[in-house]
Structure 1
Amino acid sequence: MNRNILTAKLGALFLSTGIAAASAAEGEIRKIDEAAGKVTVRHGPIENLEMDAMTMVFRVPDMAMVEGLAVGDRVVFEADRVNGAITITRIEKAD
């Protein structure tokens, strides 16, 4: 997909979901570990964390945040450092 079209679609998605574009990232869920309270996401750059695209494990403070999500789902999310751990603070299924 053309990068400009993707950027425009993501901007519209961020506005419609309430997720701020500056702190949001897109990704794909690769694993959900409910017992550990963690989610593995293959994601694009996360600007507020100065992080390049990669696959990594994120802490999830409340597993209810990922209810209805499954491995392979495309998501839009926010992440930040919380008590020293990189943590998903908001996550939604992408359209």
Structure 2
Amino acid sequence: MGYSHQRWRQAIAAAMAISSFYAVNAVAQEGSASGEVRRVDAAAGKITIKHGEISTLQLPAMTLVYHAEPALLADIKPGDKVKFTARREGGQYVVIAISK
């Protein structure tokens, strides 16, 4: 009886660990970085930024297209050096703040 009870407890512990992992990942993640703007399409609400690693979003250094509110992009143009904060929302990366 001791062996099966121990296996049952291990199975519950494993299930709890997996559910905790998914609960943490379901929360919106944010991170800040510096980079250079490569392309801006304010009408479509998109900006392409070449940036360094953003560890909180698990992104290596790369060039990535982000979504953004068009109003945030009004004064931003290709070649600008920017600091920005992005959030992962539903599998997309969204710039929530940006400054030159």
Matched, 1:74 2:81: yes
Work out whether residues 44 and 70 of structure 2, in 8 Å CA contact, stay in contact via their aligned partners in 1.
no
The counterpart of 1:34, out of the listed 27, 36, 42, is 42
More helix by share: 2
Report the TM-score, using the length of structure 1 for normalisation. Answer: 0.68
Q: Distance in 2 between matches of 1:35 and 1:47?
A: 29
Work out whether residues 43 and 70 of structure 2, in 8 Å CA contact, stay in contact via their aligned partners in 1.
no
1:83 partner letter: G
Runs of 4+ in 1 over 3 A off after TM superposition: none
Work out whether residues 41 and 56 of structure 1, in 8 Å CA contact, stay in contact via their aligned partners in 2.
yes
Report the TM-score, using the length of structure 2 for normalisation. Answer: 0.65
Provide structure 2 residue ranges, at least 5 long, that are not aligned to the other structure: 1-29
1:86 corresponding residue in structure 2: 93
Matched, 1:23 2:31: yes
Q: Taking every aligned residue pair, what percent have the same amino acid on both sides?
A: 39
1:50 corresponding residue in structure 2: 58
SS of 1:23's equivalent?
Answer: strand
Return the index of the structure with the highest Cα Rg.
2
